[in-house]
Amino acid sequence: MTRAEWIEAAAIGVTAVGGRLVWPFLPDAMPLWQIVLGLSGLLLAQSLVRDVAILLRQRRSESNQPRREAQCFCLESTVGATGVVAGAVLTGLGSSTRIAFSGWVFSLCTLGILALGFFIKDLVIFWNPLGVRREKDHLNLIVRWKAKSR
């Protein structure tokens, strides 16, 4: 693991403990839509912070990898955006299902979603050809929805 990955892993642990400390200030039961939106937003925020850190690190280095075009999308962003859409749909449907859980469960949910983001951070979904591949620090990919005609 790189130094940045160790720092991220430590930040995930600190955030999970912080979730436990914040729990007394949250309601005992939360609507399902709020939980889905919150966890999806947390996943997208983690991705944003990591991408900004990568951009700052690349900015300081002299040798940047050449950019290449691909028909792809980051798996982490796809999962987060899908969760946001699902939460919005639940909100629009007027879902009133409330879920009650303890502070430890809240902390474990926070830890779980951040760990998921950590493990899928380098995975990219390609649709031409269809597949999932590992692309380390995939900010050098330029997303194209359609292939360029030559």
Q: Beginning with the edge strand found earlier in the chain, give each strand of the sheet holding 123-127 in spatial order.
A: 72-74, 123-127, 130-134
Q: What is the pLDDT of residue 63?
A: 54
**4, pLDDT greater than 90:** no
Quick one: tokens of 44?
Answer: 């997208």
Distance of CA 43 to the CA centre of its chain: 3
The band of 136, judged by pLDDT with boundaries at 50, 70 and 90, is: confident
Per-residue pLDDT of 49-101, as tens digits, reads 988 888 888 777 765 567 777 788 889 999 999 999 999 999 898 877 899 98
DSSP letters, 42-56, are HHHHHHHHHHHHHHH
Task: Name the more confident of 10 and 67.
Answer: 10
Q: What percent of the chain has pLDDT over 90?
A: 40
